[in-house]
Amino acid sequence: MTACATASAEAPRITAGPKIAALSCGKPVYLVVLLHAEGSCGQEVIDLALNWAPELPKADFLAAEAPFAGAAGARWFPGEGFSPDTISAGLTASAPLLDAFLDEMLAARRLPGDHLALVGFSQGAMLALDVGLRRAVPPAVIIAFGGALPEARDVGAPRTQPPVVFIHGENDAVVPVADMIATRDRLKALGLPAKSMRRPSLGHGVDDDGIIAAGSVLTASLVKPKAAGEHDDHHHDDHDHDH
């Protein structure tokens, strides 16, 4: 595996990392942006897209690089730790950076905002949720691996209602599954189609079943959007799935 580069602390900004270009001919029709975990980098998540690209041949997959340097590597937030205050302050610092980055990446491909999907891991999942729920044009879907939003982080009354799917380890000791459930239920109370999949015996990480489920969600959200009033597919419902 390629080593991760250390983020620069001089002028924090989100940069484009490794990508997998659309497998079909012509310009991409969709953009899937992956936000890595803290201490990680784009190179460590872009390979996951190899599992999804064959079903989404018209999608560009792009791994973004976090803007801050931490003791353990690149971070999306300037502060260390996972306290609610640190997370809220980190989101305040990074959300405008990601929002501008997404606008730039979409404009470069001449794509509308609803042809975007966000897939985040840990801190990257928190940022994907916070930004994705506030964008003027909602992404097609937000997938959060091992992420949640602190209760104090007010998402307000969202102008848009993008579907949100949480994939979370039951044994996550960094972001407890109870925090994910609380976030999911808070979003549902605001009218968002938020669903979750819990992974038994999994800690703060990603497993094969979660990767497969995420691919199914991406394909259904980007390639086969549901008609109004159509039922959700059998992979997710209003309750957790423990596959």
Residue 82 in tokens:
């996972």
Confidence (pLDDT) at 69: 83
Q: What's the CA gap between 99 and 156, in Å, rounded?
A: 17
Instruction: State residue 34 phi and psi, 5-degree precision.
Output: -105, 130
Confidence (pLDDT) at 233: 35
Q: What's the CA gap between 227 and 177, in Å, rounded?
A: 31
Place of tokens 């905002």: 113
Q: Which domains does the chain have, with CATH numbers?
A: 15-222 (3.40.50.1820)
Confidence (pLDDT) at 230: 42
> For residues 80-101, b (16+ Cβ closer than 10 Å) or e, as one string?
eebeeeebbebbebbeebbbeb
For residues 66 and 76, the answer to whether their CB atoms sit within 8 Å is yes
pTM of the predicted model, to two decimals? 0.88
Question: In order along the chain (243 residues), what is the average pLDDT of each group of 10 residues?
Answer: 56 92 90 95 92 95 92 82 83 94 97 96 95 92 95 70 93 94 92 93 94 95 60 40 49
